[in-house]
Structure 1
Amino acid sequence: MVSAWDTLDDRLRPIVQASTDEYARVRPALESVTAEMEASLRAVFADSPVKPLFIASRTKTVESFRDKASRTLPAEDASEVPTLLFPDPLRNLTDLVGVRVIMTLPHEVDEAANLIKRQRAEFDCRGDREKDIGSIESGTYGYSSRHLILRTIQNETVREFHRLLEPTQKPNGSYLFEVQIRTVLAHAWSEIEHDIRFKAGDPRAWSPYFDRQFIATAAMLETVENEFAELHERYETVTGFWDEDGEGSAPLTPNRIRDIWMTLLPHVNRKAGDDWGWAAELLAAHGLKTTMDLAGLLQADAITRVREALDHRYSPGPDRLLDDLLLWRFGKAHIDLTAEPEDAPVKPRRESLGRRYRQMQLYRAREN
């Protein structure tokens, strides 16, 4: 791959090489700073509910430093010497030390960033940007990544580095470094993209189909991450239904029943309607009055066995399925509590429930 150093104006090479030699001299001390920053960030998460999948760090290689230090701004006149983009790279570059914090889900990226930014005794946040924002605004795709620029505060390891870098200056313990926070899927995508797109060989071998495929995979990545985020949100909601000191104790109003049903059984929504008062009446007849009561009734194993026992000709809607689940659990008591009296002249509901109850009894006898 052709680097910025390879194409650098010969008149600028001595300046860049001198900076590179200086960087090579102090890099071992900078590696200690890198290790210290990684350890500090690990400590931030140690006692926090926000848990990264992993944290990794790196100190920029000498070759990478030289290439970045070789970047220039074009001169207005071709005969003039170009201007170095980073005239003092050892002090201008903020990514010589980099730490990556890899999370599971998109919302955790923001949680991790906010947690790090609150560590004001150790770090001063000097920059915070989301790498995918530009992609969103331009209508394109790219991996999402939160980039923080942090400045250390009175750090002794940094002071040791400064003593080596500038022996005549008083070390202040302040140093700028970069923290990238992204999801594991975005991390995998970016690593592959970097290997193929930025570490490619001869640029003449590049095909526009590579860019096209990267855009397509980025779009798929966004879709997958959205699905995982929705799964996590649903999981948090469902587990909350079993919290007897919280959501689990919430009373079963008609709207609450509808919301619980659509969370647990969104595929069973025919004839759901807006009025779930009928469901509240059926449940209340058996003393089922809390969220946890309904969550306990709508269990997958019970639903599967009810479907097998009754062998429904048509997929039942919420009204029929709830009625059958209550009949499965409470048996004849459900009939007596919710159907017409036994001596009623016309009793279609009692007769229907009776037929279904006998089917359930036969099924249980066969299963046993």
Structure 2
Amino acid sequence: MGTHWDRLDDQLRPAVEASTKQFERVRPELEAVTREMRTTIRDIFQETELKPLFVTARTKTVASFREKASRTLQPAVAGDAPTLEYPDPLRDMHDMVGVRVIVSLPHEIREAASLIKRQRSEFDIRADREKDIGSIESGTYGYSSRHLLIRTIQNSAVKRFQEALGEPTRPNGSHVFEVQIRTILAHAWSEIEHDIRFKASNPRAWSPYFDRQFTATAAMLETVESTFSELHERYETVTGYWDEEGEGAAPLTPRRIREVWQTLLPHVDRKSDDDWGWAAELLAAHGLKTTTDLVDLLQAEVITRVREALEHRYSPGPDRLLDDVLLWRFGKRHIELTAGDDNHRRESLLRRYRQMETFRSTS
């Protein structure tokens, strides 16, 4: 088991050697193209809300170029000589220049790709594919990555590279390069996998156990990224609750109260029915009518102190906990506004109120 170059037919070696020498000669100009593409891609995000963690770029190494240029296609007819997969590699390869955009969360991959594809005066998008689609449809695992093939339009750095390349290339400033967009977790996974799987000093040392472990870590990666995405969505939702001119102004209907409660306190949802009307009545009694009013009431520190003060024998459901939090905030006024003629409720509220006062005085 060797490299493509090691296994290359002797008749094909001269062509690959010639293109490799030419690549080595023009590589300095190609590095200038790489730097410009990195700067151009990075600057796209300067005035946007999306801020990638970092944007990197690389020019293909001479060794990597020779190895890829040595790939062959199986002959269509048995016995025929193999042919090169890239007969003109300096023009056929699209990854001699590569840019990577690394973001935090999976949904930012889509946003970054959209922003790049809008730069129609700079680029022409030749291909756009999602690397994880095949693994999803086949029921396997792999890291998620968006790959764009982009052609530059009348780029001056590309023209200088093409002039150095010489005939028969016409220096028109058009060159296809690759942009990969992935999350930081996927980036770390792919870098480690690449170092072990593709850069191993002795490919014969590879074991099926490694494949199994990489598959397992890819599955865990997908789970972690899904959790981070869910956390991000929940954070965005809760942040919106505090926008008094937006989501925070939404009125406290029973349905809205349930939605806010299940977002803020999903671990305290032990209601046996979907009737949140009583909660709406309790809040309305104190003039709490908007979403922001409710999230301001349901602060974690307050709920913790209420639990400590009352030493609940059983974990309270939403109705009881809301009642206790309102009692904590409004004291006797809560009793007067909500007990009415119900003596049993009044006595229960008074007992809990005394417990709270005792706790406050001793804590």
TM over 0.5: yes
Q: Partner amino acid for 1:312?
A: H
* Distance in structure 2 (CA, Å) of the matches to 1:2 and 1:272: 66
Residues 43, 330 of structure 1: alpha-carbon distance in 2 compared, 3 angstrom cutoff: same
Cα deviations by residue, 1:286-343 (Å, 9 ceiling, x for unpaired): 00000000000000010010000000000000000000000000000000000024xx
1:150 aligns with 2:150: yes
1:348 aligns with 2:361: no
Do the aligned partners of 1:272 and 1:318 also contact (CA within 8 Å) in 2?
no
User: Aligned residue for 1:365?
Assistant: 361
User: Aligned residue for 1:237?
Assistant: 237
Where does structure 1 lack aligned partners over 5 or more consecutive residues?
Answer: none
Where does structure 2 lack aligned partners over 5 or more consecutive residues?
Answer: none
* Distance in structure 2 (CA, Å) of the matches to 1:122 and 1:224: 36
* Distance in structure 2 (CA, Å) of the matches to 1:287 and 1:79: 88
**Count of residue pairs the alignment pairs up:** 363
1:44 aligns with 2:44: yes
* Distance in structure 1 (CA, Å) of the matches to 2:89 and 2:168: 19
User: Aligned residue for 2:310?
Assistant: 310
TM-score normalized by the length of structure 1: 0.97
Give the deviation of 1:205 after TM superposition.
1.7
* Distance in structure 2 (CA, Å) of the matches to 1:168 and 1:262: 66
TM-score normalized by the length of structure 2: 0.98
Give the deviation of 1:76 after TM superposition.
4.6
1:59 aligns with 2:55: no
Instruction: State the SS of the aligned residue for 2:111.
Output: helix
User: Aligned residue for 2:94?
Assistant: 94
User: Aligned residue for 1:251?
Assistant: 251
Aligned Cα RMSD in Å?
1.2
* Distance in structure 2 (CA, Å) of the matches to 1:242 and 1:191: 40
* Distance in structure 1 (CA, Å) of the matches to 2:137 and 2:193: 21
* Distance in structure 2 (CA, Å) of the matches to 1:336 and 1:364: 21
Residues 71, 169 of structure 1: alpha-carbon distance in 2 compared, 3 angstrom cutoff: closer
* Distance in structure 2 (CA, Å) of the matches to 1:223 and 1:165: 47
* Match runs of 1:240-279 below 5 Å: 240-271=240-271, 273-279=273-279
* Distance in structure 1 (CA, Å) of the matches to 2:269 and 2:170: 71
* Distance in structure 2 (CA, Å) of the matches to 1:224 and 1:281: 40
Give the deviation of 1:199 after TM superposition.
1.3
User: Aligned residue for 1:125?
Assistant: 125
Give the deviation of 1:203 after TM superposition.
3.0
Give the deviation of 1:113 after TM superposition.
0.2
Cα deviations by residue, 1:122-148 (Å, 9 ceiling, x for unpaired): 011100000111111111001110000
User: Aligned residue for 1:283?
Assistant: 283
Give me the identity figure in percent.
71
Q: Partner amino acid for 1:338?
A: T
* Distance in structure 2 (CA, Å) of the matches to 1:205 and 1:99: 31
